[in-house]
Structure 1
Amino acid sequence: MRGLLPHPLLSAGLFVMWMLMQRTVMPGPALVGAAVALLGGWALAVLQPGRTRLGRPGAALRLLGNVAADVIRSNLGVAQVILLRRKDRRAGFIRIRLALRDPQALAILAVILTATPGTAWVEYEEEEGWLLLHVLDLIDEEAWVRIVKDRYEAPLMEMFQ
């Protein structure tokens, strides 16, 4: 059974999402949904992601709180920049050296930085650990480095090491 459904929860979730998006229980969409679910499970099995064991649930909760607060604050900041057409806004790129090396932790960091309005993960140089980040309203580079390192990287390192 494991060969047919290597990731049964993922496949079930894909099937349910497909059926919800189709808004019908007709056999045609259900058959396509089953195919999508099987292919999704097989694709993840081919990628063979490493098993991750998260430690420190307190760090995860702290990170979640930081991200939620920063997303709200960034939404307000971006709205202010756009609606008020501030002239003092200065977009730019900053380079940040990361100590984080775990691929799953880096993926989470990329999602956090890209999901936070006003920032975008542009590039990561794996050998040296340099992150290139684009910031819409870059007033203080050091403040952004501290945000990434203290609010995001530190809890991720606690969780993944």
Structure 2
Amino acid sequence: MTAERLGFPQPWLTVALFVVWQFLADSVTGASVVMGLILGVVIPQITHRFWPDSPSMKKPWVLVRYLTVVLYDIIVASISVTILILSPRQPRSAFVSYPLQLHDPLGITILANTISLTPGTVSADVSDDGTLLLIHALDVDDDAELIRAIHQRYEKPLLEMFR
């Protein structure tokens, strides 16, 4: 029996809402658990008409590795940006056009958000045909190296998850 047939049209959203509510509540109490469960069940029920078909993640276990890499990169980039800001050296900012290999809209969204979450980079735009992602980098020496790093660290695992 599928989760959708059991009344959970977006089971991952249900879990995510419950977990986020627990973090927002700042402590796990009976009331916060009940409220988290209510939100986790009711919000997906109300919004399920607006959601596209559920994404088909082919290798969900890759997500754990991906999140570990992203968390590590956020920490390292935070330190690098702090050092850059405190140093007298001027940053070499640039807009870089990143050629996308991903075609799945959810995968492209996750990639763009990952880039924006990493200090020093932000996703600025996706081309109309979905083949390019415009990225602003705070400090970049070599555009090709930035493109290679994003592909290896972020897009390649996403391709593995969604193909």
TM-score range, shorter chain: 0.7 to 0.9
- 1:85 deviates by 3.8
Letter paired with 1:40: I
What residue number does 2:141 align with?
139
1:117 matched to 2:119? The reply is: yes
- 1:54 deviates by 2.9
- 1:155 deviates by 1.5
Q: What is the correspondence of 1:75-86 to structure 2 with a 5 Å cutoff?
A: 75-86=78-89
1:76-117 deviation per Cα after TM superposition (whole angstroms, max 9, x unaligned) = 110011122422x11121001111111221122122111111
What residue number does 1:156 align with?
158
User: Relative to structure 1, is the Cα distance of residues 7 and 152 closer, same or farther in structure 2, using a 3 angstrom cutoff?
Assistant: closer
Mind listing any 5+ residue stretches in structure 2 that lack a counterpart?
A: none
What residue number does 1:99 align with?
101
User: Relative to structure 1, is the Cα distance of residues 63 and 21 closer, same or farther in structure 2, using a 3 angstrom cutoff?
Assistant: closer
Report the number of matched residues.
Answer: 157
1:45 matched to 2:44? The reply is: no
Letter paired with 1:78: V
TM-score under structure 2 normalisation?
A: 0.73
Counterpart Cα distance in 1 of 2:53 and 2:60: 21
What residue number does 1:67 align with?
70
Letter paired with 1:76: I
2:59 to 55, 60, 72: 55
Letter paired with 1:141: D
TM-score under structure 1 normalisation?
A: 0.73
